[in-house]
């Protein structure tokens, strides 16, 4: 009985070209990578972590709107007090308790002493932003330094710093504020910044310690 020869399959025979298993697997891996889109030449340009994060953030409408509102508030709190100067503390006894949206001179009205509410609001926002930025910078430095030391060296230093962290966590915030205020003789802006930085670093310290422990084990 005569054997039937296999049919030729390939580009010369007009059939479908055969692909190796390695080529097919590699193509599936390229298509499965997140943040990768094949271009017209079949290559897949990879997006970096920061670029991909920014793209995802901008596609979130609520987050983008909140960022725009926050930017307007921050810019207003920085720029407007520079333009208005001391308007926030100028007293106009002829126009106390002026209602808002009645004149362009006092958009949000005046208080009991005739001071402009809009200028005082932006002045307070400026102080709040300054306290927040300086306090966060302070407890990032404190928590980052102590956490890095505890995670890198370990041993008795790690135990001592973690027990000190437990003491900071257990200390009531208001009690610390009252004690510091009584010791310094009054509430000052620098006192508030120091108290927030000295009592809010423990979360950053624990996170930094955990990261250094992972790096040390590797």
**pLDDT tens digits, 19-74:** 555 555 555 555 555 555 555 445 555 778 888 888 999 999 999 999 999 999 99
3-state secondary structure of 46: strand
The radius of gyration of the chain from alpha carbons, rounded to an integer in Å, stands at 32
pLDDT of residue 205: 93
SS3 146: helix
**Which parts of the chain register pLDDT below 50?**
16, 40-41
Distance, in Å, from the CA atom of 216 to the CA atom of 218, rounded to the nearest integer, reads: 5
Residue whose tokens read 């889109």: 37
pLDDT for res 106: 87
Distances (CA, A) of 164 to 2, 100, 136, 157: 90, 51, 20, 11
pLDDT value at residue 50: 85
Confidence (pLDDT) at 188: 83
pLDDT at 177: 80
What gap in Å lies between CA 183 and CA 205, rounded to an integer? Answer: 27
Tokens read off for 17: 């070209």
Is the CB of residue 73 less than 8 Å from the CB of residue 125?
yes
Count the Cβ atoms, other than its own, within 10 Å of residue 119: 23
Residue with tokens 């915030």: 173
The pLDDT of residue 144:
94
Taking the alpha carbons at both ends of the chain, their separation in whole angstroms is 67
């Amino acid at each position: 009985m005569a054997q039937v020869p296999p049919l030729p399959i390939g580009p010369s025979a007009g059939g479908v070209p055969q692909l190796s298993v390695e080529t097919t697997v590699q193509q599936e891996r390229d298509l499965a990578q997140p943040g990768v889109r094949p271009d017209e030449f079949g290559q897949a340009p990879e997006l970096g972590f920061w670029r991909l994060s920014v793209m995802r953030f901008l596609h979130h409408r609520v987050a983008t709107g909140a960022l725009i509102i926050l930017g307007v508030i921050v810019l207003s709190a920085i720029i407007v007090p520079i333009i208005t100067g001391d308007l926030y503390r100028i007293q106009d006894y002829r126009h106390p308790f002026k209602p808002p949206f009645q004149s362009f001179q006092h958009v949000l009205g005046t208080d009991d002493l005739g001071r402009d509410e809009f200028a005082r609001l932006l002045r307070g926002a400026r102080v709040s932003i300054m306290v927040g930025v300086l306090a966060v910078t302070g407890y990032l430095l404190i928590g980052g330094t102590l956490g890095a030391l505890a995670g890198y060296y370990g041993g008795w230093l790690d135990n001592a710093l973690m027990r000190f962290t437990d003491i900071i966590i257990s200390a009531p915030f208001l009690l610390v504020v009252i004690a510091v205020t009584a010791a310094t003789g009054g509430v000052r802006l620098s006192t508030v910044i120091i108290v927030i930085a000295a009592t809010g670093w423990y979360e950053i310290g624990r996170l930094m310690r955990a990261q250094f422990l992972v790096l040390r084990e590797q």
